[in-house]
Amino acid sequence: MTEIEEHGAVATSPAPTAADAPTEQLPALSPGPAGAVDGAAPGGRLVGLETRELSAWFGDHKVLERVSLAMAPGEVTALIGPSGCGKSTYLRILNRMHEMVKTAKLAGEVLLDGADVYAPGRRPADVRSRVGMVFQRPNPFPAMSVYDNVASGLKLAGIKVTKARRDELVETSLIKAGLWIEVRNRLRSPGGALSGGQQQRLCIARSLAVEPDVLLMDEPCSALDPTSTRRVEETIAELRGRLTIVIVTHNMQQAARVSQNCAFFLATHDTPGQIVEAGPTTQLFEDPRDARTADYVNGRFG
């Protein structure tokens, strides 16, 4: 087990850039012949994500305690639990955003397709091109066009492609995000002119443009109305089987609808966040092994 002292500052932009990477770096990922990123799973193979004995701190405050969890390839894993139990921190650790907080520390392993994303010399920007993030509130570049918003994902990841390939990736990403039909005639209109639900799907498309192996979603529907929430959930269902998805949600009905696997996090005033129970979603909701899980999913606390 290794312990890593993290450096940086709190993120203030929709996605980190290659400038956030440490000075000791592996060679940057570069586009392959078809525009895919070198280092991604060969042949479009689905890959899983796993943490082993993962603990995390902000300064002297421990927020996660020895969290071990396997997130299955091509499936949706929901992270549930009361506020303050470390779910969002855990999610940000998975693509190395935790280290952007100056006081953050980390111990344990995060394995993407069996390789530790915190290995010495591994560039954070390369990890984030394979493990995308969609935030709680839609955060498109408001004055940038719909097209440029999606294409910006490539630029932020340092991926260079031909114009034809970029056009293809923008269209494909918008299709995968369930937004193409709604915006295909307004690709040059500002992304900020879209509705809230459309903006969130635009952010999903931006993350998909770099063809990641994993998509992390931090309460992606908390700021949306029921209709927009339903459309984002449909998008998640459509993406299932194409990549691995990990979603934080406080909505138990949503967790039951969209996920195949679930992990219940819990913390107390004197203990850091830990996983109480993890397994198939149907088991956690219908036949949980721990009484605390049953109480939470049935709304008796939290």
The structure tokens 């796993």 sit at 50
Q: Is the pLDDT at 122 greater than 80, yes or no?
A: yes
In the chain, the amino acid numbered 160 is K
Q: How many helices (H) and strands (E) does the chain have?
A: 10, 11
Min mean pLDDT across 64-68, 138-142, 211-215, 288-292 is at 138-142
Q: How many domains does the chain have?
A: 1
Q: Is the pLDDT at 21 greater than 90, yes or no?
A: no
Query: Residue 201: exposed, middle, or buried by beta-carbon count in 10 A (0-12, 13-18, 19+)?
Result: buried
- The answer to whether residue 123 sits within a structural domain is yes
- The answer to whether residue 2 sits within a structural domain is no
- The answer to whether residue 162 sits within a structural domain is yes
- The answer to whether residue 3 sits within a structural domain is no
- The answer to whether residue 173 sits within a structural domain is yes
- The answer to whether residue 281 sits within a structural domain is yes
The structure tokens 């993407």 sit at 112
DSSP string, 53-109: EEEEEETTEEEEEEEEEEE-TTSEEEEE--TTSSHHHHHHHHTT-GGGSTTEEEEEE
Share of the chain above pLDDT 90, in %: 72
DSSP secondary structure letter of residue 133: E
In the chain, the amino acid numbered 244 is T
DSSP collapsed to 3 states, 229-261: HHHHHHHHHHHECCEEEEEECCCHHHHHHHCCE
Mean pLDDT, range 10-38, rounded to an integer: 32
Q: Is the pLDDT at 210 greater than 50, yes or no?
A: yes
Over the stretch 195-207, which tens digit does the pLDDT of each residue have?
999 999 999 999 9
Q: Is the pLDDT at 16 greater than 60, yes or no?
A: no
Range(s) of the domain holding residue 197: 47-297
Q: Is the pLDDT at 228 greater than 80, yes or no?
A: yes
Task: Report the alpha-carbon distance of residue 74 to residue 127 in Å, rounded.
Answer: 18
- The answer to whether residue 129 sits within a structural domain is yes
Mean pLDDT, range 69-83, rounded to an integer: 96
CATH of the domain at 91: 3.40.50.300
Task: Report the alpha-carbon distance of residue 300 to residue 302 in Å, rounded.
Answer: 7
- The answer to whether residue 260 sits within a structural domain is yes
For residue 254, what pLDDT is reported? 95
Name the residue with higher pLDDT: 52 or 122.
52
DSSP secondary structure letter of residue 44: G
The alpha carbon dihedral of 255, 256, 262, 267 has a sign of positive
DSSP secondary structure letter of residue 27: P
